[in-house]
Amino acid sequence: MSQSKQGKGTVNWVVFLLVALIAVVVASVVLTWEPVPAGEGEPRTDVLTASTGWGTTHFSNLSAADIEATDDLTVGDDAVIAGYVRIGASTTFSVTNGGTITPTGTYMPLEAGAAVGCSDIVTGTAGDRLVLINTCAHSITITDTGSLKLGSNRVLAQYDVLELWSDGTYWIEVGYAENAGSGTTTFANVSATDLAVTDDLTVTDDASIGGLLTIGEYAIFTEQSVVVCTEGAPITPTGTYQPITSAAAITTSTTTAVVSGTVVGEVVWLVNENASDEIIVDDGANTDLGGNVTLGAGDILKLLWDGANWLGLGTANN
């Protein structure tokens, strides 16, 4: 075979290979218009789907009724949307006390098995938006620490929302909505420099307040179960508003009239609910009353625990 024919054959093979390569590249990006069945009386719509085998598909001045992107969609210029911008909900995240929230998308429902506090959220990419919604009946406290920059600690009751924006280092608060209405928010072991409560506050355990307590309306002390007093025995209060009664006229113990308090500053109001019998609280029996106090029906003795004795704050003869 002549040298010229051999060269020509080589060129043909090169051309063939180039054509085959181009065909493979074209086949890796398939754009299809698929008719979507319309409902009765509705126009047909078309869906543009892009299936990319080797990387990114680029569109310029794209106009389509529906676009489906199964991976990232990056828009380098304006995006004009005539209908809704709908963000799909991620799988609900279960928050544990002291744990970290790991978001998987913008719309992040939260739940918890009890009232919990969250100490951190996994940092997002700059520009990420995160919308946290408490979907359960237990409160979820998001603490202003770690990767968070909040206006203050945020307590999310059911249906409350916290919206955050990431700068790549911190989650920064951009919105907070309290949507729980008149429901009850439950706290567990709350510690705060300032705590502002705009509605009722119910404390089921001890409350230690280092500063001033300002109450705009009433301070309501729950009435405790009635304590039955007996001759020569101490009174055992279980709370500030303590009703007492007896089966007959009695005098308390002359050594311990009222069981000792547990915290300096405790206040107890003893209210005699016996309609006919007097109850005498002995003075000088871990008590400093200025004399024995006789409580008739409806009478009240106010006491303050100083760490050693119950000090009399006053009596009401009713």
Q: What is the dihedral of CA 189, 190, 192, 195, to 10 degrees?
A: -150
213-258 pLDDT, tens digit per residue, is 888 788 888 899 999 999 999 999 999 999 999 999 999 999 999 9
pLDDT score of 71 more than 70: yes
Q: What is the Cα–Cα distance from 39 to 25, expressed in whole angstroms?
A: 38
What's the pLDDT score for residue 95?
94
32 has pLDDT over 70? no
- What is the pLDDT of the chain when averaged over all its residues? 82
- Per-residue pLDDT of 86-110, as tens digits, reads 888 999 999 999 899 999 999 999 9
Under a CB-based contact definition with an 8 Å cutoff, are residues 148 and 176 in contact?
no
**What is the distance between the alpha carbons of residues 53 and 149, in angstroms, rounded to a whole number?**
41
Distance CA 109, CA 190 (A): 23
Please give the Cα distance from 222 to 237 (Å, whole number): 13
What residue spans define the domains of the chain? 3-68, 93-177, 227-316
- The C-alpha atoms of residue 22 and residue 15 are separated, in whole angstroms, by 11
Assign domain 227-316 to its CATH architecture: Sandwich (2.60)
Compute the distance between CA of residue 50 and CA of residue 63 in angstroms, rounded to an integer. Answer: 14
Q: How far is CA 233 from CA 224, 248, 250, 286, in A?
A: 19, 13, 9, 13
| pTM, 2 dp | 0.46
Stretch among 153-167, 172-186, 206-220, 231-245 having the lowest mean pLDDT: 172-186
